[in-house]
């Protein structure tokens, strides 16, 4: 490769517009190119970093709504 970059052995390849991602592993490298192999998911529960962030955000919103509902359900004194 003309300007070598450092990559971990395994990494995530993401196509944001399609919401797709794959785990990949460096298979070969020469001065001009890099080849990868795609790593199958063992558990079937892998999620992209973007999805994990969104899940965390939604869980936080759910918790805030549950707290608000509990406060509204308390009897008035």
Give pLDDT, residue 42: 65
Q: Which of 1 and 29 is assigned the larger pLDDT?
A: 29
Angstrom distance (rounded) from CA 26 to CA 20: 19
Model pTM score: 0.43
Give pLDDT, residue 3: 65
Domain boundaries, the chain: 1-44, 47-77
Whether the per-residue pLDDT at 61 is higher than 90: the answer is yes
Q: What confidence tens digit (pLDDT) does each residue in 9-53 have?
A: 888 888 888 878 888 999 998 888 889 999 876 656 667 778 888
Q: Are 25 and 8 in contact (CB under 8 A)?
A: no
**4 confidence band (pLDDT: 50, 70, 90):** low
């Amino acid at each position: 490769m003309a300007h070598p970059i450092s990559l971990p052995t395994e990494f995530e390849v993401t196509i944001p517009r399609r919401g797709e991602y794959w785990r990949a592993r460096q298979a070969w490298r020469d001065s001009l190119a890099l080849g990868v192999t795609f790593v199958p998911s063992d558990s079937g529960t892998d999620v992209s970093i973007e999805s994990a962030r969104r899940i965390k955000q939604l869980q936080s919103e759910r918790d805030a709504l549950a707290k608000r509902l509990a406060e509204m359900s308390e009897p008035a004194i």
